[in-house]
Amino acid sequence: MDWQAALRPVLSPLGLDLYDVDFAAGTLHVVVTRAGGVDLDALTEASRTVSAWLDAHDPIEGRYTLDVSSPGLERRLRSAEHFAGALGERVTLRERREGQPTRRLEGTLVACDATSATIDDPEVGPTRVELAGVERARTVFEWGADQAATGRTRATTSKKG
């Protein structure tokens, strides 16, 4: 199922953007954003709305859990759009390389396009990585004395019982 196409119009009337969606290990993870951030009330409304859509369309057989959350302080990067939204930020990634060991890079994301990203890693310098070879990537929250972490906000609902 194309979860992006199905859930974007469900969340849009709530003023929310679908950041990511993934169905794994019996849980449908829906990650939403909006300018200015997402509060618990918005997540609760999103959870209710997505839950009602799932009840009406029944796209998942059997028992599952719906997890609606914000991306959090360290958000996962899985698409070219995610990387574009993180330009100028500190990121970490693991890159699969055929015939070579997996490489880990951490540094500032300085460029990206539809197929690649360039990380300025202090140890190896600017390094271009094909997005198709990225095993895992996320932004890195840098803790400071004057920063307080609010963390990730989440609403979870069990479905079909």
For the stretch 84-130, pLDDT in tens is: 999 999 999 999 988 898 999 999 999 999 999 999 999 999 999 99
Confidence check: pLDDT of 60 > 80: yes
Percent of all residues in the chain with a pLDDT value above 70, rounded to a whole number: 89
Could you tell me the residue ranges of all domains in the chain? 3-73+151-159, 80-139
For the stretch 32-44, pLDDT in tens is: 999 888 999 999 9
Architecture of domain 3-73+151-159: 2-Layer Sandwich (3.30)
Q: What is the pLDDT of residue 159?
A: 57
CATH topology for 80-139 is SH3 type barrels. (2.30.30)
Q: What is the pLDDT of residue 73?
A: 86
**Mean pLDDT on 40-66:** 94
**Mean pLDDT on 40-60:** 95
Q: What is the pLDDT of residue 88?
A: 95
**Mean pLDDT on 34-55:** 95
Q: What is the pLDDT of residue 152?
A: 54
**Mean pLDDT on 125-149:** 84
Residue ranges of the alpha helices (H) in 35-152? Answer: 40-57, 80-85
Percent of all residues in the chain with a pLDDT value above 90, rounded to a whole number: 76
Q: What is the pLDDT of residue 144?
A: 73
Residue ranges of the alpha helices (H) in the chain? Answer: 3-11, 40-57, 80-85
Query: Residue 131 is which amino acid?
Result: L
Q: What is the pLDDT of residue 154?
A: 58
Q: Which residues in 9-153 belong to E strands, given as ranges?
A: 17-24, 27-33, 64-69, 90-97, 100-112, 116-121, 125-130, 134-139
Q: What is the pLDDT of residue 160?
A: 56
